[in-house]
Amino acid sequence: MISSHSREAYSLGQIPITPSAMATQNGCKLCAPLGASLVFKGIRGAVPLLHGSQGCSTYIRRYLISHFREPVDIACSNFAEQTAVFGGGANLKTALENVSRQYDPALIGIATTCLSETIGDDVPMFIKEYRAGRNAATVPPMVHVSTPSYQGTHMEGFHAAVLAVVSALAHDGTAGSEQRVNIFPGMLSPADLRHLKDIVAAFGLKAMVLPDYSETLDGGLWDTYQRIPSGGTSVEDIATAGSALASIELGHTLASRTLTAASLLEERFGVRAIRIGLPIGLRQTDALMLALAEVSGRPVPPRFTEQRGRLLDSLVDGHKHVNTIRAAVYGEDDLVAGVTAFLSEIGITPVVCATGGRSRHLTAAVQALVPQKRHAHITVLEEADFAAIEAAVAAVQPDVIIGHSKGYAMSRRLSIPLVRVGFPIHDRMGGARLLHVGYEGALALSDRLANALIDQRQAASPVGYTYM
Ligand code: SF4
């Protein structure tokens, strides 16, 4: 996929970096409907449907399956040449009919692709026309999200889909006896989502997590094939979002968006919006614990104090291996910001922080999260591709690279170890089970970082060593 785009790099030390090419070379981003499909996979009984050509859904399915190693059905309205000329209304209606008949879905999530956006298909009108000829009771809820990839990355598609779902389904309803909180976790792993739900439940709160693909994309072995895997947040639970005690939205760079799911619920129903960074590392996990303690009116449960203690102990133990280390981090804006904050806490200097994302808020987030005395050493790249990232990394030669598996070729060429985080992880097992969040996630990440550095030193030693 080749597209022209603006590319910007900033040095916190005020050294400007000039873009050297006008075309993307191996993008550090994925396409917008992929992010939207992931959100729809986190809703119980939902089927994602792409309005566009089959190649888009095949590419997205391939990407998701290679990471999650689960079957992923994504329907498509299958554009052909004549559809591109005359419009895709008929195709979309046929697709809606087929999906309704074959899957009996609780919701159909419709995301557009570059082609249907380029020809200007009026998807809301097509949906209205489809509904008009049918018994309303037999038509599943439908949520449409506009996801032209030439205007945004998978993260734009992801956040747009969360917003579209909340906007279409949430109402104020009755609060009931449960103490409920909305959690908008951002794009985390299934293991992260499970851990977050455990944390929220320990405060006596019921969480409406959107999206929750912790089971649908990381489930058990089946006896018989399931067209729609079990799990996910139900449409009914999403509908109660307007009467929750609060919404907790995770992500440092969400401040750059004019409207998010949490801010919409605050505007429409008065649900208090609490925004904190991804809870990666000590301080951001502390912030999550404090937020949950405040919302629930309960103290932090002892088991998290114990986990925090174990994390601190492990950081003291591993300090000699990571102190003075320099790292390059790349991936989604919010993940990069979260990992950068954690590195800074444990004595690793982040020297390159890069994203293909378009939030244009990573620089501000890094500035806020890293002590000022280190700013001069950090280069932040936004809207960057791997050509730009590799050039920046090669220039500063860090000790370790942290990011998803698309950076493996760079790591291999530069002989710098890669610690895998985020999405996609296509060249290792267990990408869905990587834990990043909470005290336990930080502990796992710090162990993996220290071990990667020890491994590198052992390999480089002429004699090797087995005891430290
Ligand atoms: S939606 Fe656009 S970027 Fe994504 S696969 Fe289709 S054509 Fe490519």
**Ligand 1 atom nearest 3 alpha carbon:** 3
Query: Residue 463: what are its φ and ψ, rounded to 5°?
Result: -115, -15
DSSP characters over 105-119: -SEEEEEE-HHHHHT
Q: Which two tokens stand for residue 301?
A: 């449960």
Helix 154-169 vs helix 32-41: crossing angle, to nearest 10? 40
CA of 84 to the centre of ligand 1 (A): 14
Q: Which two tokens stand for residue 409?
A: 């070729």
Is 334 strand, coil or helix? helix
Query: Hey, which residues does 142 pair with through a beta bridge?
Result: 108
Contact 337, 277 (CB under 8 A): yes
Q: Which two tokens stand for residue 208?
A: 């409406």
Distance CA 430, CA 428 (A): 7
Please check whether the two domains, 32-168 and 180-302, share a CATH topology: yes
Distance CA 85, CA 71 (A): 33
180-302 folds as Rossmann fold (3.40.50)
**Ligand 1 atom nearest 114 alpha carbon:** 2
The pLDDT tens digits along the chain (468 residues) read 322 233 545 445 433 444 556 688 899 999 999 999 999 999 999 999 999 999 999 999 999 999 999 999 999 999 999 999 999 999 999 999 999 999 999 999 999 999 999 999 999 999 999 999 899 888 999 999 999 999 999 999 999 999 999 999 999 876 566 799 999 999 999 999 999 999 999 999 999 999 999 999 999 999 998 999 999 999 999 999 999 999 999 999 987 788 999 999 999 999 999 999 999 999 999 999 999 999 999 999 999 999 999 999 999 999 999 988 999 999 999 999 999 999 999 999 999 999 999 888 999 999 999 999 889 889 999 999 999 999 999 999 999 999 999 999 999 999 999 999 999 999 999 999 999 999 999 999 999 999 999 999 999 998 888 877
**Ligand 1 atom nearest 113 alpha carbon:** 1
Q: Do strands 142-145 and 107-112 pair parallel, antiparallel, or not at all (unpaired)?
A: parallel
Burial class (CB in 10 A: 0-12, 13-18, 19+), 366: buried
To test the ligand 1 pocket, which listed residue (2, 29, 31) has its Cβ within 8 A of the most ligand atoms?
31
**Predicted local confidence at residue 210, as pLDDT:** 98
CATH classification (class only), 8-26+307-460 = alpha beta
Q: Is 59 close to ligand 1, i.e. is its CB under 6 Å away?
A: yes
Query: Hey, which residues does 233 pair with through a beta bridge?
Result: 43
Alpha-carbon torsion 126, 132, 138, 142, what sign?
Answer: positive
CA of 117 to the centre of ligand 1 (A): 11
89-94 long-range contacts, Cβ below 8 Å, gap at least 24? Answer: 89/121, 89/122, 89/125, 89/126, 89/129, 91/51, 92/51, 92/121, 92/123, 92/126, 92/127, 92/130, 93/126, 93/129, 93/130
**Predicted local confidence at residue 24, as pLDDT:** 84
Q: Is 74 close to ligand 1, i.e. is its CB under 6 Å away?
A: no
CA of 317 to the centre of ligand 1 (A): 46
Which residue minimizes the CA distance to atom 5 of ligand 1?
A: 56
Distance CA 212, CA 207 (A): 10
Which residue minimizes the CA distance to atom 2 of ligand 1?
A: 114
Is 73 strand, coil or helix? coil
Q: Is 149 close to ligand 1, i.e. is its CB under 6 Å away?
A: yes
**Ligand 1 atom nearest 1 alpha carbon:** 8
**Ligand 1 atom nearest 34 alpha carbon:** 4
**DSSP element (H, E) containing 180:** strand 180-184
**Predicted local confidence at residue 2, as pLDDT:** 25
Q: Is 1 close to ligand 1, i.e. is its CB under 6 Å away?
A: yes
Helix (H), strand (E), coil (C) string for 283-324? HHHHHHHHHHHHHHCCCCCHHHHHHHHHHHHHHHHHHHHHCC
- For the chain, percent helix, then strand, then coil, each to nearest 5? 50, 15, 35
Q: Which two tokens stand for residue 162?
A: 């969360």
Is 255 strand, coil or helix? helix
To test the ligand 1 pocket, which listed residue (29, 59, 118, 147) has its Cβ within 8 A of the most ligand atoms?
59
Which residue minimizes the CA distance to atom 1 of ligand 1?
A: 113
**Predicted local confidence at residue 20, as pLDDT:** 55
**Predicted local confidence at residue 255, as pLDDT:** 79
CA of 34 to the centre of ligand 1 (A): 9
**Ligand 1 atom nearest 147 alpha carbon:** 1
Q: Is 408 close to ligand 1, i.e. is its CB under 6 Å away?
A: no
DSSP characters over 417-432: -EEE-SS---SSS-GG
**Predicted local confidence at residue 4, as pLDDT:** 29
Distance CA 101, CA 280 (A): 43
CA of 382 to the centre of ligand 1 (A): 21
CATH classification (class only), 32-168 = alpha beta
CA of 113 to the centre of ligand 1 (A): 6
Distance CA 160, CA 115 (A): 18
**Predicted local confidence at residue 294, as pLDDT:** 97
**Predicted local confidence at residue 176, as pLDDT:** 61
Which residue minimizes the CA distance to atom 8 of ligand 1?
A: 56
Domain ranges of the chain: 8-26+307-460, 32-168, 180-302
Q: Which amino acid is at 74?
A: I
